Amino acid sequence: MDDITKKQIKRRIASAAGHLKGIERMVDEDTYCIDVIRQVQAVQAALNKANTLILEQHLQGCVANAVRGDDAAEREQMLTEITALFETSTKI
């Protein structure tokens, strides 16, 4: 993974962590529920973007190398992992 993408991912994760601490305070302070939900949505958006960046890197790197390579078992493993990832994400 290149340094620029790592920085982008770390920024998204740091943003989510900051929002989570804010959400904890909001709950302790009995903040209006809709405002808390909006902050939870902001965390989810930050994590979704981090996931997208990581998946892009995985597809362009690991998966592309496996598809171009001669190892049929490695190709099958990569495809199985991607399929499992999408099956899991649709159950959430």
pLDDT digits (tens, 9 = 90+) for 28-68: 999 999 999 999 999 999 999 999 999 999 999 988 888 89
CATH number at residue 29: 1.20.58.1000
C-alpha–C-alpha distance, residues 21 and 40, integer Å: 11
| DSSP helix, strand, coil percent of the chain (3-state; round to 5) | 90, 0, 10
Helix 33-58 with 3-28: angle, nearest 10 deg: 160
Looking at the structure of the chain, the number of domains it has is: 1
Which range marks the domain in which residue 80 is found?
Answer: 3-91
Stated pTM of the model: 0.77
Q: Give 67-82 pLDDT, tens digit per residue.
A: 899 999 998 999 899 8
Task: Supply the DSSP symbol for 59.
Answer: I
Residue among 86, 5, 9, 12 nearest 43 (CA): 12
DSSP secondary structure code for residue 69 in this structure: S
**Residue 1 — pLDDT band, cuts 50, 70, 90?**
confident
